[in-house]
Chains A and B, each alone.
Chain A
Amino acid sequence: MSLITLIPLLPLLGFLINGIGFRHVPKSLAGIISSGVALASFACVLSLFFGFDGKPQVVSVFDWITVGKLNISMSFLIDQLSLLMLLIITGVGSLIHIYSIGYMSHDEGFGKFFAFLNLFLFFMLLLVMGSNYVVMFIGWEGVGLCSYLLIGFWNKNNNYGNAARKAFIMNRIGDLGFLLGIFMIINHFGSVEYASIQESVVDGGYLSGDKTLFYITLLLFVGAMGKSAQIPLYTWLPDAMAGPTPVSALIHAATMVTAGIYMIIRSNFMYSLAPETLEIVAWVGLATAFFAASIGLFQNDIKKVLAYSTVSQLGYMFMGLGVMAYSSSFFHVMTHAFFKALLFLGAGSVIHAMSDEQDIRKMGGLRKVLPVTFVTFLIATIAISGIPPFSGFFSKDEILAHVYEHNKLMWAFALLGSIMTSFYMFRLLFLTFFGEFRGTAEQKHHLHESPITMTAPLMILAVLSAIGGFFNLPHIFGGHSGLAEFMAPLFAHSKVEHAAVDESLEITLMVVSVIAALISAIVAYVIYVSKKAVPSADSEVSGIQKLIYNKYYVDEIYDSVFVKPITALSNFFYSVFEFLVIDLIVEGIGKLVKSLSAEARLLQNGTTGFYLFAMVLSIAAIIIFSLKSFILG
């Protein structure tokens, strides 16, 4: 068995051990097994990565579905993109596994949790390793399943269950688009393998703006919208925060939600020939980035702020994809994985210390009791706000520079979004770690720094968040865009215009965005530290703030536009249409026969005279009938 097949198999093995041995594997062992397989996977990936010679490698495991001319094989592809994704998934994934040992230590579903985490890793690895769209789809749906299982992990709470269902169903809406996209691909290219599709596209002489490619890419993008929480399918992600915090970090920040970006980068050879789709991608991304950031401004739940921030950052990534800055988007995927995972884990540490309190209005002053968490959280906040030299700055500014090249209005909105990002992140930081403690005495008594299994991943991620930007240091800072160069072969066929952004312009753009971010950080400081403002209670918010606080009532709108009508339709079909229309006809036929027979049986009245009369009449009728030509001439 090659190293490549081992990568997904190891987590699967972990899942089987922890899953089948649920309640039998001792608690101390469960965490070690599952972190162990994740780390082992990571080791495999590392050895692959360092042994990688730049040539894509396909490993076919077995033929999965063979029908007619179509053969869908279970096969894995190792190239630049999948290697990078693998590094992020297994690397960050392992850290989060280790973190979870501490975080979940008091939970009765400990073994189950690790089984699910391993299962998630398995599917996520399938997703990025598959050498064709159907294997990607397996992973795609599989991670959706794990997301469902883990959001509803605390299954006693029905609200959590509802959130889990919502996530699964909204993802399924996207999946339908993806599936139709796959069908269209099969129809046109007769294959689902990336390599052979790419060949057909390149050799097929498709022109930019080709209708087929437009529809295919659009359908695939619908899938991406669901998985990566873009407007209009984003509302499940904030609700998904019902799951345990490590889950939010792993699935809903670092890995699964970036699957959509992975998919578009994977299909870049098609997207690059579909400028209309790219335009749609860019605008959807911008709208999501801006819209979600504005909601983030007034949220008071520590995880909700981070959730909207994730939605917003994903929007930036899609914007980058939309302007064909594929490697920049991927760069942001990577840095985002570092700092957002860190933020979530930090938030988890805070929640852990606060005895499961998530409302930032009840926190404050935690920097003294949670020093490690505070420092790492601070680093992540600076990184996400785009302040140099931390990682977020480099990746976001690359995207912004490309967006500026593409469309200046778009850039302005994106900049506004990033100002908001900086504001709400610092607001979160200040409210949580600065000022006075606002919780109950009992909570205060209980405050403690988290154990080493939790803080160690924080520290590693903090380092990565700080220096992550140097993986792709741009030329103006003396770097050589290492990541972009590494990924370049992926885009060999997609004619990416690597617009050499004018250096002075690039610097101007950077300075503008850094200053903007700093200003909003300072504003946040003034409001929440100097003036010690605390967000008002839920009942006191009003006006536009209330509108935003309630997330523009999008959930309510969806509820009354989709959920309620379908429910009503269901009730109508069942209690009216089913019984009063269809069954009425069916039963009606039966009743008709019955009532006819009820009438007809009255003829059988028992009077012999009547029978005789009927007989004679009938004989006469028959005679007349048979002799009618004789009688009538």
Chain B
Amino acid sequence: MLTISLILLPIIAGILTLTTKGENAKKIATIFAFAEMILGVYIYSSFVPNATTQFAASYDWIHSAGIKFSVGIDGISLILVCLTTLMIPFIILSTFNNNYKNAPTFYALILFMQAALIGVFTARDIFLFYFFFEVALIPVYFIAAIWGGENRIKVTFKFFVYTIFGSLFMLLALVYLYIQTPGIAHKADFESIYAVAKSLDLTQQSYIFGAFFIAFAIKMPLFPFHTWQPDTYVEAPTAGTMLLSGIMLKMGTYGLIRFILPITPLAVDKYGMVAIILSVIGIVYGSIIAIQQKDMKRLIAYSSFAHVGLMSAGIFSGNIDGIQGALIQMLAHGINVVGLFFIVEIIQQRTNSRELARLGGITQTTPNLTVYFVILMLGSVALPLTNGFVGEFLLLKGVYEYNVWVGAVAGLTIILGAVYMLRMVQKSMFGITSKITEGFADLTFSEKAVLFPLSFLVIWLGIAPNMFLKLTEPAVSQLLSIIK
């Protein structure tokens, strides 16, 4: 029941928001987002650390086809539910200084997006999963296409078509699995699908693997399916970018863990190396491109692309370190990237520019911002005692165990990450003030209300990662026992 209310609450809130006008929309959206966060925290605190699916609820949906509206939370879902419920309030708060046209629609879309995302992460039925997976695309498409930058139409169109294109492959794989289930009506719940998967031979698994891989690789995105990403991140309004990078790309990594690993273990065994190599190419390639970026948003977009590569490599390495690392890194990356994009937004609002060459010296007027920026940056470059370190340490260890050399190449991320991140901080924050940063105003309350909790989380998760690792471990071990 709790899970259902997690999905329903944002929908109700969204509808309520639609009925309001102007300023009220913000407030209602914020209140409900925080209510949702409290719900999320409650679920976190009452979650029992074992491998079962908790808070489960199941209703007949399309009875004759064996399709159920079935949701529930296990350790893997939990971490993403926490991410979603934690981040959405901050994403909404981060827009407090903007005055969007049609604000009620804007906030309603964010809330609908939240419902869909929670749906994706809690669905226990493949049909429902696919449903939410696609539904999640719609609000963010409109957010980007209506409130985006100049080039938004072309870019969002590309994004939309590209991801839909990938999803169709997934649909194909899901339908194939579905018709393999016994009975005339078939079954669509995860357990039946996992059971069916055991009987598949290598050829079948390879096709399914390929189909899933394309879908999730586009979503995350992995090299070389990433070209929609930087443009979309740059063109979308910052709240949209946060949704996309902070939460939505985790749908891809979640899919890898939820579907590819348990359903096609033989294929992972055979083709995992290819996937890992693509991921690692992505890490190095994305990082190297990020080094020379002039636009802050684009720089973070490429850095996010590089980080996702590491997560995917860790997942495909198929050991407990890699997967646990990926889970904790999903949370960490969400926090960091939302924070970093918000800082870019703050800078852009005050200076009308995101270009590093024109910025500089912001710390001379606003040291507070620099402090937050540096903390988030440290999380992103994986300094120990920040959230990024735990994830990267485990991920790299996982990849290292899979293959020493690939692990070493993936490790370049800690060097290259430092190169581009420090460059960005220095060019924007340090040095003498430029013309446009001279009158940089101090942070407002709502800005601090976002940056402070995020920075706190960066450090807190770095010190106490076991808070989450302990909860996810049983589910991950069970997953691994399916594979072995």
Contact A156 B412 (CB under 8 A): no
Besides the contacts A65-B466, A169-B418, what 14 more A-B pairs have beta carbons closer than 8 Å?
A64-B466, A66-B469, A68-B324, A148-B422, A156-B361, A158-B431, A172-B414, A172-B415, A179-B393, A179-B411, A180-B400, A183-B401, A187-B401, A583-B227
Interface residue stretch chosen among A363-371, A470-478, A563-571: A563-571
Give the CA-CA distance A221 to B100 in the complex, in Å: 56
Interface residue stretch chosen among A137-145, A260-268, A448-456: A137-145
- Indicate if B161 sits at the interface (CB-CB under 8 A): yes
Q: What are some 7 contacts across the A-B interface (CB < 8 A)?
A: A64-B463, A66-B470, A67-B394, A141-B383, A168-B418, A571-B292, A586-B162
Contact B411 A65 (CB under 8 A): no
CB distance from A243 to the nearest CB of B (A): 14
- Indicate if B320 sits at the interface (CB-CB under 8 A): yes
A578 — which chain B residues lie within 8 A by C-beta? 227, 289
Assuming the A-B contacts A142-B384, A161-B426, are A172 and B418 also in contact, with contact meaning beta carbons closer than 8 angstroms in the complex?
A: yes
Contact A176 B426 (CB under 8 A): no
Chain A window 172-197, contacts with chain B (Cβ cutoff 8 Å), 1 for yes, 0 for no: 11011001100100110000000000
B422 — which chain A residues lie within 8 A by C-beta? 148, 165, 168-169
CB distance from B252 to the nearest CB of A (A): 17
Contact A68 B321 (CB under 8 A): yes
- Indicate if A573 sits at the interface (CB-CB under 8 A): yes
B411 — which chain A residues lie within 8 A by C-beta? 176, 179-180
- Indicate if B36 sits at the interface (CB-CB under 8 A): no
- Chain B residue at minimal CB-CB distance from A112: B367
Contact A156 B431 (CB under 8 A): yes
- Chain A residue at minimal CB-CB distance from B378: A145
- Indicate if B204 sits at the interface (CB-CB under 8 A): no
- Indicate if B285 sits at the interface (CB-CB under 8 A): yes
A142, A157, A169, A179: the one within 8 Å of B419 (CB): A169
A157 — which chain B residues lie within 8 A by C-beta? 431
Assuming the A-B contacts A145-B378, A183-B396, are A161 and B465 also in contact, with contact meaning beta carbons closer than 8 angstroms in the complex?
A: no
Chain A window 575-591, contacts with chain B (Cβ cutoff 8 Å), 1 for yes, 0 for no: 00010001101110010
Give the CA-CA distance A65 to B396 in the complex, in Å: 14
Chain B window 400-435, contacts with chain A (Cβ cutoff 8 Å), 1 for yes, 0 for no: 110000011001101100110011001001111000
Which residues of B are interface residues toward A (Cβ below 8 A)? 158, 161-162, 224, 226-228, 285, 288-293, 320-321, 324-325, 361, 363-364, 367, 378, 383-385, 389-390, 393-394, 396-397, 400-401, 407-408, 411-412, 414-415, 418-419, 422-423, 426, 429-432, 463-466, 469-470, 473, 477
Contact A169 B430 (CB under 8 A): no
Contact A567 B385 (CB under 8 A): no
Contact B292 A570 (CB under 8 A): yes
Closest 7 CB pairs of A and B: A138-B384, A570-B292, A155-B430, A68-B320, A583-B227, A183-B400, A570-B291
B465 — which chain A residues lie within 8 A by C-beta? 64-65
Chain A window 62-84, contacts with chain B (Cβ cutoff 8 Å), 1 for yes, 0 for no: 11111110100000000000000
A162 — which chain B residues lie within 8 A by C-beta? 426
B415 — which chain A residues lie within 8 A by C-beta? 169, 172-173, 176
How many contacting A-B pairs (Cβ < 8 A)?
Answer: 130
Assuming the A-B contacts A65-B390, A158-B430, A186-B397, are A22 and B367 also in contact, with contact meaning beta carbons closer than 8 angstroms in the complex?
A: yes
Give the CA-CA distance A551 to B224 in the complex, in Å: 43
- Indicate if A574 sits at the interface (CB-CB under 8 A): yes
Contact B431 A155 (CB under 8 A): yes
Give the CA-CA distance A68 to B397 in the complex, in Å: 12
A573 — which chain B residues lie within 8 A by C-beta? 285, 288-289
Give the CA-CA distance A590 to B161 in the complex, in Å: 9
A23 — which chain B residues lie within 8 A by C-beta? 367
- Chain A residue at minimal CB-CB distance from B325: A67
CB distance from A166 to the nearest CB of B (A): 10
Give the CA-CA distance A155 to B428 in the complex, in Å: 12
- Chain B residue at minimal CB-CB distance from A187: B401
- Indicate if A435 sits at the interface (CB-CB under 8 A): no
- Indicate if A285 sits at the interface (CB-CB under 8 A): no
- Chain B residue at minimal CB-CB distance from A173: B415
CB distance from A37 to the nearest CB of B (A): 19
Contact B288 A566 (CB under 8 A): yes
B158, B364, B414: the one within 8 Å of A175 (CB): B414
Give the CA-CA distance A437 to B396 in the complex, in Å: 58
Give the CA-CA distance A173 to B477 in the complex, in Å: 34
Assuming the A-B contacts A142-B383, A155-B431, are A574 and B407 also in contact, with contact meaning beta carbons closer than 8 angstroms in the complex?
A: no
B394 — which chain A residues lie within 8 A by C-beta? 65, 67
CB distance from B145 to the nearest CB of A (A): 17
Contact A67 B320 (CB under 8 A): yes
- Indicate if A392 sits at the interface (CB-CB under 8 A): no
The listed residue with most B CB atoms (<10 A of its CB), out of A22, A148, A573, is: A573
- Chain B residue at minimal CB-CB distance from A570: B292
B385 — which chain A residues lie within 8 A by C-beta? 138, 142
- Chain A residue at minimal CB-CB distance from B223: A582
